[in-house]
Amino acid sequence: MNDVKRLPFVYRVIRWLCRQISASWFREHGIVHEECIPKQGGVLFAAWHPASLIDPLLMLSLLPGQMTFVAKHTLFKIPLLGHFMRAAGAKPVYRKADVTPATDSKTSETGGNTNLIDTLSDVLCEGGWCAIYPEGISHVMSSPQKTKTGPARIMLKALFKARETGEEPPSLVPVGLHYSDASRFRERALVSVHQPMSMPPLPGEEGAPTPTNEQIAEFGADIAAERAWVNAVTESLGTELQRSSQGLDTWEDRKLLWRARGLLSVHRNRMLGRKTGATYAEAVMGARRARAAWLWLSENNPEQALNLKSRVSNHAQNMDKYGLTR
């Protein structure tokens, strides 16, 4: 297990530094469901990317063991930041938007990322832990953006290697990153670890995702089978990222969901006779349950869902009007 290995001295120093920065920047931060991390085999943690450099800072601070991060290669060219990232064991990923013949004559998006996939699959096959942001960008949208195929390609190669060598197969674990406001000082943050994803049978095995006739004609049977597997895992990962990040269509919807969660929390505390407010971890877990209920209601009774949304919105406006919100 990764966590029982003695961490390199430089990595321990970097983790200590990240923890000091996190403790200073956030007034409350923590991790929940750490027990979901598999005890055996490598782990590829996949998270959405809403807060730029704060995301790896938080994950380095709170996730156990030694992490190998993936970051866009242009960051490695920034003098101080580049040295810091290399010391932390980060690996560069080459994005099409960042690679130009004039600036990267010795690398290419395809060649650089093929090497990265080989490197990370080796780390996973050897029982190491890696972290990746499958969207490929950091953003301020209210939900994860389109998931890239990189994580699925890494997992496919790692699973093939593990089967060949007899090693424990690696796991793909979605991670939720939650902030009350990542850009403001002394706000709150949470890392939520989710259950490892179930991987479909590998290409060539019974029950594996089936490629289309067009894919077979264009790429050949073997490559088409691998592409079908990668596409299936990528689609599943996109769904898991939406769930782990509590993604909704707009930030207004997320704010209303948080308000609804607060109303439920007040009612629950009154029933239990609890006089203290919820911790941020409890609030995030409550919002996750409220989101699941909201999505179910929207699908099964759209009219009632719209009515509920309107009532919560009106309540929020009245609270704001009288200055009763925090």
Q: Which two tokens stand for residue 134?
A: 């499958």
- Amino acid 100: pLDDT: 55
> Quick one: 229 and 277 in the same domain?
no
Whether residue 213 sits in one domain with residue 67: yes
pLDDT of amino acid 132: 95
Residue 323, judged by CB atoms within 10 A of its CB (0-12, 13-18, 19+), counts as exposed
- 3-class DSSP assignment, residue 205: coil
Could you tell me if 239 and 265 lie in one domain? Answer: no
Find how far residue 266's CA is from the centre of its chain: 30
Looking at the fold, whether 138 and 239 belong to one and the same domain comes out as yes
Q: Using the 3D structure, point to which of 245, 268, 301 is the last residue of a domain.
A: 245
Residues 79 and 103 in one domain: yes
- Measured in residues, the chain has a length of 326
How distant, in Å, are the alpha carbons of 40, 46, 47, 112, 309 from that of 1? 6, 19, 21, 29, 46
- How many angstroms separate the CA atoms of 218 and 223, rounded? 9
DSSP 174: E
Asked whether the whole model's pTM tops 0.85, one would answer yes
Together in a domain, 268 and 173:
no
Residues 235 and 279 both lie in one domain: no
- Same domain? 107 vs 184: yes
Instruction: Order across the sheet with 171-179: list the strands.
Output: 26-32, 187-193, 171-179, 43-47, 129-132, 67-72, 91-93
Instruction: Please tell me the distance from the alpha carbon of residue 21 to that of residue 59, in angstroms, as a whole number.
Output: 12
pLDDT at res. 106: 44
**217 three-state secondary structure:** helix
pLDDT of residue 116: 87
Other C-beta atoms lying within 10 Å of the C-beta of residue 244: 23
Number of folded domains that form the chain: 2
Same domain? 294 vs 218? no
Q: What amino acid occupies position 182?
A: A
- Domain of 297 in residue numbering reads as 251-321
As a whole number of Å, the end-to-end CA separation of the chain is: 43
Residues 110 and 42 in one domain: yes
At 290 the three-state DSSP class reads helix
Whether 264 and 286 have beta carbons less than 8 Å apart is answered as yes
Averages of pLDDT over each 10 residues, the chain, 326 residues: 69 93 96 97 98 95 92 83 80 67 50 80 94 95 97 97 96 98 96 98 97 96 97 98 97 94 90 89 96 96 95 92 79
* Among candidate residues 245, 261, 295, the one where a domain is terminated: 245
**In the structure, how many helices (H) and strands (E) does the chain have?**
10, 7
Q: Please give the helix or strand (H or E) that residue 179 lies within, else none.
A: strand 171-179
User: Could you tell me the two tokens for 138?
Assistant: 């950091």
Beta bridge partners of 174: 46
66: closest CA among 24, 13, 119?
A: 13
Residue 166 sits in the same domain as residue 24 = yes
Same domain, 193 and 133: yes
Phi, then psi, of 312 in degrees rounded to 5: -65, -40
Does residue 326 fall inside a structural domain? no
Query: The tokens 């923590």 sit on which residue?
Result: 30
